[in-house]
Amino acid sequence: SVVDLAPGAYLIRGWLDLEQQQWIVRRFREWAAGPVPIRAATVRGHPMSVRTVCLGWHWQPYRYSRDATDVNGARVLPFPDWLVRVGRRALADTGHDAGEVELYTPDTALVNYYDERARMGMHQDKDEVSRAPVVSLSIGDSCTFRLGNTENRNRPYTDVTLESGDLVVFGGPSRLAFHGVTAVRPGTAPPGCGLAAGRINLTLRETGMED
Residue 76 binds ligand MD3 (CB under 6 A):
no
What string marks each residue from 185 to 204 as x (binds ligand MD3 by CB under 6 A) or -? ----------------x-x-
Residues 91, 2: Cα–Cα separation, whole Å: 11
| 172 three-class SS | helix
Which one of 48, 125, 144, 188 is in contact with Fe ion (CB under 5 A)? 125
Q: What is d(CA 188, CA 6) in angstroms, rounded to the nearest whole number?
A: 26
Contact pattern for ligand MD3 over residues 157 through 176, marking x by CB under 6 A: -----------x-x---xx-
Q: Give the DSSP letter of residue 77.
A: B
Q: Which is nearer to ligand MD3, 94 or 203 (CB)?
A: 203
CA distances from 118 to 40, 113, 138, 194 (A): 11, 8, 15, 20
Task: Give min distance, CB of 179 to Fe ion, in A.
Answer: 6
At a CB cut-off of 8 Å and minimum separation 6, what does 81 contact? none
Footprint on this chain of ligand MD3 (rule: CB under 6 A): 110, 112, 120, 125, 134, 136, 145, 168, 170, 174-175, 177, 179, 181, 201, 203
